Amino acid sequence: MSPFRRASDEASPDTTHEIQFDRPTRSARAAEDIRSAHGGRRLAVGVTTAAGVIVLGHLAHAVGLIGVFPPGGGSAPAWIAFAVVAAATVVATRGLTRVADWTNVLILVALSVPIVLDLAATANLLHLGVTPTAAPAAAALLLPVAALRETRTPVAASAVIAGVLAVAALLQAATAESWTVAGLAVAATAVVPVALVAVGVRGFRRLVGRELDLSLVQSTVATPRSAVGMRASEELAELDYDAEALLEDVGSGRVAIPLPPEAAEQAGRLAARLRIRLIEGRTDTWLRHAVTESAYLSRRVSIDDPQGLAGLLSPSQREGLLLALWLIAGQRRRKPSEPPLEVRVHCRECEARDPAGDPADDRFRSAEGMAVAIDLDVSGLTARRADAATWDALDNVGVHEIAPGPEGFRVRIDCRIDPTVRNPAPPSAVNPRGA
């Protein structure tokens, strides 16, 4: 089987212009490896260390309360149960980069045991200054879980634990008086660290995801004027595999000639899909592939380049345009009521002009005798809110003019195409099955 084939065998004939992009298996695996290499493991180690420090703090608090408990009481059974759960959690999640759902459920159920035992041991003792210790320590075990899987479940579980501890403290407010504040503070220690870690982990994942996606789509700046992207390469690999399978069946005699109706229909479908792909490949430039294959740009950026003029840009111009689109599309809305951010890119031919406004000489004309004008119509973002690095990136593309509007702005870029600067040479033909 071709290494580019997806796990799902359902492939539509034309998937180039879909909004969502499913990366090939090898690319997705490489992305996960890069994500870990960009500090994911260090983040998990740091969160685990913080959880250990919090647990040790609650344990020291529990040791200090030993002399305050009435005879025959204490939180020792709760801490023993906590130690068993903690050891089992470490063994169950050791070496994992993601906690399975069933493992997460077992951890949450097991954590209820030390919490119940601790609440039972400290019931009606808040007036003596006795607060739960094993229960908030159990919530600290959710910190590594938040770093290894989605953060909503750990935050919700810690909020439940904090709510139970707060209710237990408020029920003793009549007798505990000022110690009620200490009980509520202990309840806060169960949820605040988990919430902070969740915010940090979400920000880290968003940052790494954006930078990783940009790194992957930046490979398009080195492609020739008309080239296939990752999605098209995957589809061509599937077509290659299906065609070779059919030819092998014919060559081995498993399929007779003339072809039976089913085999002939399959061959016709393969030929039609290949023709569609070849026709679209004539105008599908690096810019269209970069936008389509990006999980971030594909949501906000649309390309109007029927002549494939973006392929005439040099690698430095391509990189500047891609970075500018990235910075614009990466802006987040300040208020939910703001209109959605959209960027429309329109490429067209124009007459090259020098900075003084006079027609440029033939050295700066494109291979077709014209320069390229790129219009960026941005809605949902004002020019003053755009990152300052956006204009620096556009300086590498060409001379640009900004026309601000009430809810957006428009950028006109005149790109000089120097024919002496060669576009990236097309790569040699490679058999997708051998890639």
Q: What is the pLDDT of residue 73?
A: 76
Angle formed by the axes of helices 179-217 and 25-35, to 10°? Answer: 130
Question: 264: Cβ–Cβ under 8 A, 6 or more apart, which residues?
Answer: 258
**Mean pLDDT in consecutive groups of 10 residues from the start of the chain, 435 residues:** 37 37 47 49 83 92 87 86 88 65 82 92 89 92 81 90 93 89 93 92 83 76 58 59 70 69 73 61 73 83 84 86 88 76 87 51 46 89 87 89 87 79 43 37
- Considering only CA atoms, give the Rg of the chain: 31
Q: What angle do CA 395, 396, 400 make, to 5 degrees?
A: 35
- How many Cα atoms are found within 13 Å in the side-chain-facing hemisphere of 384? 3
Q: What is the pLDDT of residue 422?
A: 46
Instruction: Sketch the domain layout of the chain as residue ranges.
Output: 32-214, 284-435
- From the list 293, 97, 127, the residue with the least C-alpha distance to 213 is 293
- From the list 17, 21, 14, the residue with the least C-alpha distance to 302 is 17
Contact 350, 312 (CB under 8 A): no
Torsional sign, CA 147, 152, 153, 156? positive
The pTM (predicted TM-score) of the whole model is: 0.62
Cα gap 266→289, rounded to integer Å: 28
DSSP 8-state assignment for residue 13 = S
Torsional sign, CA 118, 120, 126, 130? negative
Cα gap 168→172, rounded to integer Å: 7
Q: What is the pLDDT of residue 78?
A: 92
Q: What is the pLDDT of residue 170?
A: 93
Residue with tokens 């392929």: 311
Q: How many C-beta atoms lie closer than 10 Å to residue 161's C-beta? A: 23
Cα gap 197→193, rounded to integer Å: 6
Kind and range of the H or E run holding 39: none
CA dihedral (424, 426, 428, 431) in degrees, to 10, reads 120
Which CATH fold topology does 284-435 show? Heat Shock Protein 90 (3.30.565)
Contact 376, 410 (CB under 8 A): yes
Encoding tokens for residue 245?
A: 């399978």
Q: What angle do CA 313, 387, 302 make, to 5 degrees?
A: 50
The DSSP bridge partners found for residue 359 are: 353
Q: What is the pLDDT of residue 428?
A: 38
Contact 350, 374 (CB under 8 A): no
